[in-house]
Structures are given as C-alpha cells and as structure tokens.
A = this chain, B = another copy of it.
Amino acid sequence: MAPSNTSVTLVKHVPSGAPTLGDFKVESTNVPTKASLQDDQILVRTLYLSVDPYMRGRLTGAQDSYVEGFVPGKPLIGLGVGVIEASTSANYKEGDVVTGDQFKWESKFVSSTKGFTKIPASSGISPANYLGVLGMPSFTAYVGVVSLCKAKAGETILISAASGAVGQVAVQLAKARGLYVVGAAGSDDKVEFVKSLGADAAFNYKTCGDLSAAIKKAAPNGVDIYFDNVGGEFLDAALANMSNFGRIAGCGMISQYNATADSVYHIQNLIRIIPKRISIFGYIVSDYYAKPDYANFITEVSTMLKEGKITYKLDEVVGLENGPQGLLDLFEGKNFGKRVIKVSDAQQRL
C-alpha cells in the first residue's frame, strides 16, 4: 500500500455559534511528489501546526475579516513548522526547517515560498518553540504588555487566560519587568500553573463568584494594566477595577467569538474610561512584525529562553487526524497552554 497523505479540510462555513466536528473532514490524499513542483516552490513535511483562537474568524466565511477565510473543500491554513523535502527555490534546500503562516493542514504539501521563513540551524531551540515561546502568541503578549501598555516596574497588571498561549508569556514578561502580576484562569490546575510562572496572585474565574470582587481582592490597589484575552464579562469587571491612567490591551475576545447577535455580552462599565483616563488598544499582532518591536522581542525572549528564565507550556495533540477536535477544544477552554498539533517527528534538533 502506498503511503497516504492526511488532509484536514473545511466542509462548510460556520458564520456564528459553535463549530462541530462535522464542519471538518479528515481525508487521505496522494502524497505530493518532488516531480510535481513548479518553479520556485517547496515541498514541506509538516512537523507541527498551530491552533489559535483567531482561526474562529477564518471559519465564518465573512469577507471583511483581517485574515483570509478558510475555503470549503480546501485544507485549513495556518501557522506551522516543517522540514523542506524538496525545493525548486534558490532560497530553500532539502533539510531546511521553516516556519510561517501558510502551512496547509496536510502531512506534506506543496506551496510557493511566500509566507515562509527559515529557522537558523544554529538556534539550538526545538522546532515546536517557534509556534510557542518565539511564536505568534508570544509576540502578541510582548506587543500588548511592552509596546502598547508600556508596563513599568511597580505597576499592577491583570491578565486573563493567564495560562494560555499568550497569557503565560504575558505573566513572565511582566514579572521580569517588576510588575505586580495578577492572573486569572479557568481551573484550579491552571491557577497553580500561573502561580508557578511567578504571578503574585491568581484566581479561578469560573469558581470565584463575583468577578469584580475577585479582581478587587487580588489587586487591592487597583489595576494599572489589563491584558485582555477574553473580552465580555471579564473585560467589564476589569473596567470597574482600573486605576487612574490605566491601559487595556485587547488582542482577542474569545468569550465572544462564538456569540450570536442575541448572546453577545453588553459592556456597561465603558463610561469609567473618562474619570479614570483609561486607554484601550485593540490590536492584531501581524501589524507589528515589520516594526522594531519584533527584533526586540526575539532578542529578549531568546535570551530568556537560553538562560532558563522563561518557561512555556505547550499543549500537544498528537496526529493530524485529531486536529479538528484540537481546534474545537480551544473554543471551550479545554486546552492547557499553547495548543499545537504534532504531525510528524523532526528526528532532529535544529
């Protein structure tokens, strides 16, 4: 039997509400061959695929989103790490390890070189980290905490989804800068994990009762910076606890991604921004790769990583055929750390 290629395709768009397994299809297709490459293309064997909240928007079929939507009948596309198996591009050769945002959800695939970057062979860092501590969610934390909110020693920062892909780095970047760090997470295990990262206080937002009171208890002097991963009710409770000249960075509102017109949460504390002089920044990390912030991030976090000063929890789902469930879990908060799909083995360290 010839080896087959696994492929995860979208069956139909899901404009609102929760997606289900039936919205995806796991198929066996032919393995792409070197002979099929056209000019300036690469044949990539996928090592890891990234599963991220922003992918909800790509499922909707909406045309006005900031990223291209997924196309029914075609494989999902996203961030990944892989090995070049064949190349007709002068810039890539067999054995190169690459990362980028044009990874198809397939065991192996052919692509143009656009959207790929080579990982330096000398980096001494295992490939999955390029979807983790040095990846997009981690840079998202950096942009929110450092670039936008300009975190300063002695301030108090509140971080929602603090055990997640973005939150765990936000906690550590803030702690390294001398802030008082308060984290919220959705299970007692996650809360313990957040404390183990160095948070000064952490609480379980699902069992704490009144959210605003829980924030007040954990941050009795008020919140200077709120790093918002969730939106909705938590954002409202944070608004009620902000200090003068507080800053809020919003990189995602996962609590609202599956909301319908009837269930979307309505914010009532926005009026607080005036007397408290609060700034709120909505942002998308891809706008920042071309700015000096990105090089600063790579330098800072690579150094922390090599010196053992930053840890990062990966939540690895093994097997591309488990990819759809791995994605659905994320919308229900079932992941614990940054979720990746392990597609094949590197059999190597870079």
Contact = CB atoms under 8 A, between A and B. Distances in A.
A97 to B, nearest CB: 32
A80 interface: no
Nearest to A276: B282
Interface in A244-269: 244, 250-253, 256, 264-268
Contacts of A252: 274
Which of A65, A231, A251, A273 has the most C-beta atoms of chain B within 10 angstroms of its own C-beta? A273
A268 B270 contact: no
A252 B274 CA distance: 6
B270 A267 contact: yes
Interface string A61-73: 0001110000000
A244 B256 CA distance: 20
B273 A284 contact: no
A279 B277 contact: no
B271 A268 contact: no
A56 to B, nearest CB: 11
A251 B271 CA distance: 10
Given A256-B271, A266-B266, A279-B282, 9 more contacts: A250-B273, A250-B274, A253-B271, A264-B268, A267-B268, A272-B282, A273-B281, A277-B287, A280-B280
